[in-house]
Amino acid sequence: MIRRFSPNILGLQFVMDIILTLLALKIAEFLRLHIVTGLERREQFVSVQPWVYLLVLGIWITFFLMFGAFDSRRGVSPLVDLGNLWLSVTVSMLVLASVFYLLALQPPDAPSRLFYVYFYIVDLALLAVLRAGVFNVLSALRRRGMHVRRVLLVGSGVYGRHVAVRLKGQESAGVSLVGYLSSEAESPVSQLRRLGPFSDLLDAVQQQQIDEVVIALPASAHAEALRMNADLQETNVNVRILPDVFEMVAMRARVEDFYGLPLISIHETSMNPIQARVKRLFDLVLSGLLLIVCSPLFLALALWIHLDSPGPVLIHQKRVGAGGRLFRMHKFRSMTWDPAQIDAAFEKRPDDPRVTRSGRILRRTSLDELPQLWNVITGEMSLVGPRPELPVIVDLYEPWQRKRFGVPPGMTGWWQINGRGEESMHLNTEADLYYVQNYSILLDVQILLRTLGAVIKGRGAF
pLDDT digit string, tens, across residues 256-284: 667 667 776 665 556 777 888 889 999 99
**Residue 39: helix, strand or coil by DSSP?**
coil
Distance CA 313, CA 45 (A): 62
Digit-coded pLDDT (tens) for 42-52? 445 556 778 88
Q: Which pLDDT band holds residue 66 (cuts at 50, 70, 90)?
A: confident
The band of 406, judged by pLDDT with boundaries at 50, 70 and 90, is: confident
What does the buried/exposed string (b/e) look like for 99-108 if buried means 16 or more CB atoms within 10 Å of the residue's CB? eeeeeeeeee
Domains identified in the chain and CATH numbers: 7-143 (no CATH), 149-267 (3.40.50.720), 273-457 (no CATH)
In the predicted model, is pLDDT for residue 136 greater than 60?
yes
Q: Mean pLDDT across the chain, nearest whole number?
A: 78
SS (H, E, C) 371-408: CHHHHHHCCCCEEECCCCECHHHHCCCCHHHHHHHHCC
3 pLDDT tier (thresholds 50, 70, 90): very low
Query: What is the separation, in whole angstroms, between the first and last Cα of the chain?
Result: 45
Regarding pTM above 0.85, the answer is no
User: Residues 408-430: what's their mean pLDDT?
Assistant: 68
Closest CA to 18 of 51, 70, 47, 60: 60
Partner residues linked to 175 by β-bridges: 149
- Identify which has the larger pLDDT, 191 or 409: 409
Q: Tell me the β-bridge partners of 215.
A: 154, 241
Q: Fill in the DSSP letter of residue 233.
A: T
